[in-house]
Structure 1
């Protein structure tokens, strides 16, 4: 697979939603995570609702968007509860909301219920970004297509492949998901999440057509890229451009 030509570490970081959904992280550890995010100016951080106000404070002087989760990780809460969670997150400073769909509704092909829920949440959060999270690893291809179509019809901004608990772990699985979304919901953007822990994989995902990458290892991916691409000094040996007699 031919790689997309990432020009520098700044561009690479702009594709990544740096993620930390550890449910036992301390405030000091979260503050350290947020400071690391500022170092590379990622597209966004994705964190638990607990730490959205802290992120608002720490990231105030940066361009990094604050993302958090609704109905995480199972998605089986009722729609009113999810909507209330989303509104509270926005009020606390979140710019992007990741909502997990009700997979029981998807399995039962109750697409109208899925659409209604997404539409209500999107209307409630206004111009904030809404990402609809599904578990593609647990779904058949036709279910992925229908989930993406429902999200697009309802006005979501992104479809996201996983919560991280059940994730595609092979590039071809991810590219298959991207192809399905692009064919059946061509207007919606795509975020791939789960198992992306090094630059080569991240580059393949971007090449495959993803608009964003979610990764717990965003800092390591960008720092390694920067080390290899920007901080490695190579001094060429002197050469002559004419043939010796």
Structure 2
């Protein structure tokens, strides 16, 4: 398929999650998100109030993470995080499922954990992070089933901190393992236009990346190159 620069930007959750980032570095990343008109930023929970105020009126949504990055906090703690995040101005939530529970076969507990977060989100978008590099195919399928049964909106590959990142094989498996009402987000290793397009072609509707400027810069350069050579400029890739 082909995608315009704007279409790709509309799939990007610009990740601003590294623990060492200073406020000035966060500001620089927020500027990137606004400049490239991405769908949202995904920020550290403690940054939400500042980011929500700074991005007000820009059209860039504010998301955050829950139970991040390991997924092993209690359900009650995840619910408390959700409520605080929404009060602070977040509108989307990327939660990490309890990976150890999933690998232990405690699927009912995994589903209940997700369901509690979905209930606390009160209609806001919930994406469930699997950390697919830790899972085999059967575990990914079971995670998809638990996520869909719990009422979440997205299945998501990775935190970006677990090693391995997203693979096309895992994305295709996730897309095939949920119904049409559940979307797929790829994160971890999406750092080029070629990779972003491949993930979209595999069935993703959202991309988590900190390489926004690189991806969309490549897209723009291709479009400008077509225009400069006199080719028909459909600004799609």
Give the TM-score of the pair, scaled to structure 1.
Answer: 0.89
Paired with 2:153 and 2:27, the residues of 1 have a C-alpha distance of 28
2:2 counterpart of 1:5: yes
Paired with 1:15 and 1:167, the residues of 2 have a C-alpha distance of 23
Deviation string 1:38-85 (CA, Å, 9 cap, x unpaired) is: 111111111101211111111101221111111111111110001101
What is the DSSP-based 3-state SS (H/G/I as helix, E as strand, rest coil) of the residue aligned with 1:67?
strand
Q: Which runs of 5+ in 1 are unaligned?
A: 237-245
Of 51, 67, 70, which residue of structure 2 is paired with 1:71? 67
Between 68-77 and 160-169, the greater mean CA deviation after superposition: 160-169
What is the DSSP-based 3-state SS (H/G/I as helix, E as strand, rest coil) of the residue aligned with 1:46?
strand
Partner of 2:88: 92
Between 224-233 and 83-92, the greater mean CA deviation after superposition: 224-233
**Is this contact kept in 1: 2:97–2:110, CA < 8 A?**
yes
- Deviation, structure 1 residue 228: 2.3
2:222 counterpart of 1:225: no
What is the DSSP-based 3-state SS (H/G/I as helix, E as strand, rest coil) of the residue aligned with 2:72?
coil
Paired with 2:71 and 2:138, the residues of 1 have a C-alpha distance of 20
Partner of 2:176: 183
Larger Cα-atom Rg? 1
Partner of 1:242: none
- 1:81-160 correspondence to structure 2 within 5 Å: 81-160=77-156
**Is this contact kept in 1: 2:171–2:199, CA < 8 A?**
no
Of 180, 194, 197, which residue of structure 2 is paired with 1:200? 194
Of 196, 203, 207, which residue of structure 2 is paired with 1:209? 203
- Deviation, structure 1 residue 234: 2.4
Q: How many residues align?
A: 229
CA change 1:202–1:58 in 2 (3 A) is same
- Deviation, structure 1 residue 121: 1.0
